[in-house]
Amino acid sequence: MAYLLGVVLFALAILISVSLHEAGHMLTAKAFGMKVTRYFVGFGPTLWSFRRGETEYGVKGIPLGGFCKIVGMTPQDDDVDPADEPRAMWRFPVWKRTIVMSAGSITHFALALVALWVIAVTAGLPNPDFPSSEAEIRKEPAVIQLSECVVPENAIRPCTPADAASPAEQAQLRDGDRITAVNDTPINNYGDLLTTLRTLKPGETARIAYVRDGQPGGTEAVLAKTQRRPLDDPNGAVGDVAALGVGLIPSTPTRTTYGPVAAFGATADFTGDMAVNTAKALQRIPQKIPALWTAITGGERDVDTPISVVGASRLGGEAVENNAWYLFFMLFVSLNFFIGVFNLLPLLPLDGGHIAIAWFERARSWLYARIGRPDPGRVDYLKLMPFTYAVILIGGAFTLLTITADVVNPITLFSR
């Protein structure tokens, strides 16, 4: 039930974001005097609508986005009433059209930034000094955090009554204890603890030496059984290994909480990192298509492959099911930022394509005026339709590919 609630909540968050995207277009267009005739949430048959002034507002039956109709977005629009010609969008200065067309992405960026600021003040943002690589983690002191249980399979999931209790907890170890030796083998860091445990067998009794509040102590633990890949081969075969039922408490916190003022700088820094990572992700999309096809045809799903709104909603469901609300909201931030960037790509029918054409027209008119030639006028969108259809076809095929992968072989962060 919690999983389904999370899926619905995340899908609703996406729908609200897209609806606000269209509201950004509508409000800026109205502010500049352009005529907006319709604003709807969803597509398909109209479920409910009302008219206020010259605009019809409503809800349609398929909740997969929204739209607003601005009169005369291109000079080739043939549904402009002669009385509305002066208010046609294409007649307005290029800077006004740029603001209107970029307002949708700006709305996504605003949602992401506000959410990030709130997260920075309340839950904290990822600590840039936190050890991120496996090598850095293994160098950390072996300060332990007790697990509630030992999951027998190689998976991350909530504990069940059938799972073995944590041997460390049964041995009366506590969170924050630093392991110093196992069976008289010195433990200098967390990597030593992992390596030493791998030399032991499930069911074996291990002598544990530790330091608690500055005082040394000792205990014995009967090791449980779990499954893991080899430490030196992340892609190796999964096998049975001994488990103490502990995790690592890093010497640096995973997240840093900021005050209301400092949170602005932290949000800006994190946003800069997101921008770099988003650019890299966009560049990798063509390379990931074979991996998506492999996932659909029965291969293992690469966690670094793109996901659709279906996959994002499923991850949102997993986050709620496992009480990982921090992950839920960070997914919301990442998705909004990605949509904002993607929508500004200079390709029709994306908003960025309209912006690029508007500035191309402006630059061409300026150049022709300087060389004494007549203004060539507006770009003929009809001549660009084959290219536009190609973008729509490729985008549609890619969307179908990601949705199919997210249905038949979804990315999972937690085992269910």
Would residue 378 count as lying in a domain? Answer: no
Can you say how many angstroms the Cα of residue 214 is from the centroid of all Cα atoms in its chain? 42
The helix (H) or strand (E) run that includes residue 400 is: helix 385-408
Q: Is residue 197 domain-resident?
A: yes
pLDDT at residue 339 is higher than 80: yes
Distance between CA 392 and CA 146 in Å, rounded? Answer: 51
Instruction: Tell me what pLDDT residue 416 has.
Output: 53
Residue 336 has pLDDT above 90, yes or no: yes
Q: For residue 208, what are the domain limits?
A: 134-248
Q: Read off the DSSP letter of residue 251.
A: S
State pLDDT tens for residues 286-298. Answer: 888 998 998 898 8
Q: What percentage of residues in the chain have a pLDDT greater than 70?
A: 99
Q: Would you state the structure tokens that stand for residue 146, as one six-digit string?
A: 């007790």
pLDDT (mean) for 212-237 = 88
**What angle, 0 to 180 degrees and rounded to 10, lies between the N-to-C axes of helices 309-321 and 385-408?**
30
Q: Which amino acid type is present at position 355? A: I
The DSSP bridge partners found for residue 211 are 178, 216
DSSP for 120-135, written as a single string = HHHT-EEPTTS--SHH
Per the DSSP assignment, residues forming a β-bridge with 68 are 39
Name the active-site residue from 22, 169, 318, 321: 22
At residue 312, the pLDDT reads 92
Q: Quick check: 274 and 330 in contact, CB under 8 A? A: no
Residue 153 has pLDDT above 90, yes or no: no
* Predicted confidence (pLDDT) at residue 331 exceeds the cutoff of 60: yes
- Per-residue pLDDT at 62 exceeds 90: no
Distance CA 184, CA 315 (A): 43
Residue at 97 is within a domain: no
Q: Are 346 and 355 in contact (CB under 8 A)?
A: yes
Domain assignment present for 321: no
CB neighbours of 413 closer than 8 A, spacing ≥ 6?
156, 315, 318, 319, 327
Name the 3-class secondary structure at 69: strand
Q: Is 244 contained in some domain?
A: yes
Per cent of the chain over pLDDT 90 is: 62
For the residues 99-127, what does the mean pLDDT come to? 95
Q: Quick one: pLDDT at residue 231?
A: 83
Contact between 407 and 310 under an 8 Å Cβ cutoff? The reply is yes
Domains in the chain: how many in total?
A: 1
Contacts of 275 (CB under 8 A, 6+ apart): 337, 341
Q: Is residue 227 part of a domain?
A: yes
**Residue 299 confidence (pLDDT):** 83
CATH number, residue 198:
2.30.42.10
Q: Virtual CA dihedral for 41, 43, 46, 48, nearest 10 degrees?
A: -20
* pLDDT tens figures, 161-206: 888 889 999 999 999 999 999 999 999 999 999 999 999 999 999 9
The arithmetic mean of pLDDT across residues 58-72, rounded, is 89
Higher-pLDDT residue of 103, 150: 103
Q: What is the mean pLDDT of residues 59-79?
A: 87
Mean pLDDT value across the chain: 90
Residue 134 confidence (pLDDT): 76
- Which DSSP state fits 257? -
CB 251 within 8 A of CB 143: yes
DSSP 8-state assignment for residue 127: P
Please give the pLDDT value at position 9: 93
Average of pLDDT values for 94-119? 96
Q: What is the dihedral of CA 13, 17, 23, 25, to 10 degrees?
A: -170
Q: Quick check: 397 pLDDT over 90?
A: yes
Tell me if residue 55 falls in helix, strand or coil: strand
In the residue annotation, 148 being an active-site residue is answered as no
For residue range 293-317, what is the model confidence (pLDDT) as tens digits? 988 988 888 888 889 889 999 999 9
Q: What is the dihedral of CA 306, 312, 318, 323, to 10 degrees?
A: 120
Q: What are phi and psi of 144, to 5 degrees?
A: -100, 155
For 75, residues 6+ apart whose C-beta sits below 8 A from its C-beta are: 90, 378, 380, 381
Structure-model confidence comparison of residues 29 and 232, the more confident one: 29
Cis peptide before 349 (omega within 30 of 0): yes
From CA 172, how far away is CA 218, in angstroms rounded?
10
Task: Give the DSSP H/E element, type plus range, for residue 30.
Answer: helix 2-32
Please enumerate in sequence order all residues whose Cβ is within 8 A of that of 411, keeping only pairs 6 or more positions apart, or say none: 301, 303, 305, 307, 311, 314, 315
Q: Which residue type is seen at 133?
A: S
**Residue range 371-382: average pLDDT?**
89
pLDDT at 411 over 70: yes
Q: Is residue 20 part of a domain?
A: no
The per-residue pLDDT for 139 is: 86
